[in-house]
Amino acid sequence: MTSLRVGFAGTPAFAATALAALSDAGFTIPVVLTQPDRPKGRGLGVAPSPVKTLALARGLAVFQPASLKSDAARGDALAVPIDVLVVAAYGLLLPPAVLGWPRAGCVNIHASLLPRWRGAAPIPRAIEAGDAVSGITIMQMDAGLDTGPIITTRKVPLAARETAGTLHDKLAATGAAAIVDVLQMLARDGRLVSTPQPTAGATYAAKIDRDKDGRLDWSQEAAVLDRQIRAFDPVPGAATTLRGDSVKIWRGVAIDATTNAAPGTVLAAAATGIDVACGKGALRIGELQPAGSRRMGSAAFIAGRALAPGAHFGER
């Protein structure tokens, strides 16, 4: 098993979980690809990716090409012989030269049950859509966008109050375990067996637009806003306004309510929650974050702003 030479390409924490599992399982990892260091945080200091941080801590060779489109951009990475390349949330498309690099091809860890939620943001899109189950697909990569044949899948049910953050962690652990099993199979059998994706049921998980996706539209049903809040927790957070100031909503649950009040109107303000009229029903907000402040419960928010029924969230 340890004689299998495994290349790795990934960038965020989701990918680092898989890299750690492969390293712990004893696979030889002669090359790690990750995106270049980026500005991060309020100070915008340049920071390495979670994959780079882990790789360096384990003494693995790291390459950070800004692009893979040309031989010059790929640099010396492709000169390293590997049997298989594991790809997890890398963030760069793999051109034919990279797809043909490893003997056994490139294998992707994708955070959905393909062909549902191909694309960049399968985790928040699954929650936003109200899916009851998500999962991991290990697939053989081809030139398409998450269209390659499936090697294996692992289902992960969504909890009633699942957030993108909690589902991310579940899927990262599931994906890490799955890829170790797949590579152990490759090491044992010398090949991977895969099945073409079904043509029915394909959906696309569009990249998150912070301004568009994070903005709450109070004319929507309360259940829709409930899912939106959880889908974009922790990033980018669900945003609205109150008296012209930006506010993020971190916790809210849909409740039944019959009212003639305009969407966005505060119906009740109590320590148990702030009830806000929606297009259908109401959203009971339990945790908020004013701009420039910390997260807080509804009681602290009300006390600091003298919030009362009749106030209005969002644009009028």
Work out the average pLDDT over 282-301: 96
Neighbours of 14 (CB within 10 A): 22
Percent of the chain topping pLDDT 70:
98
Query: Residue 316's pLDDT is what?
Result: 66
Map out the domains of the chain as residue ranges: 5-205, 210-305
> Which CATH fold topology does 210-305 show?
Methionyl-tRNA Fmet Formyltransferase; Chain A, domain 2 (3.10.25)
Work out the average pLDDT over 233-244: 95
Q: What share of the chain is helix, strand, coil (3-state, %, to 5)?
A: 30, 30, 45
Q: What is the pLDDT of residues 89-128, one digit of tens each?
A: 999 989 999 999 999 999 999 999 999 999 999 999 999 9
H/E run at residue 57? helix 50-57
Q: What is the pLDDT of residues 121-153, one digit of tens each?
A: 999 999 999 999 999 999 999 999 999 999 999
Work out the average pLDDT over 286-313: 94
Average pLDDT, the chain: 95
Cα–Cα dist 309/302, whole Å? 11
Cα–Cα dist 137/220, whole Å? 32
Query: Residue 22's pLDDT is what?
Result: 98
Tokens 């297009």 appear where?
279
- In the chain, how long is the greatest CA-to-CA distance? 69
Token digits of residue 284: 């009971």
Residue 205 backbone dihedrals phi, psi, to 5 degrees: -95, 90
Bridging pattern class, strands 118-119 and 204-205: parallel
Answer yes or no: is pLDDT of 262 > 70. Answer: yes
**Count of residues in the chain:** 316
Work out the average pLDDT over 211-218: 92
CB within 8 Å of 130: residues ≥ 6 apart: 223, 227
> Which CATH fold topology does 5-205 show?
Rossmann fold (3.40.50)
Cα-based distances in Å from 23 to 51, 65, 167, 244: 12, 22, 23, 50
Percent of the chain topping pLDDT 90:
88
Answer yes or no: is pLDDT of 40 > 80. Answer: no
Q: How far is CA 41 from the centre of its chain?
A: 19
Work out the average pLDDT over 250-257: 96
Give this prediction's pTM.
0.95
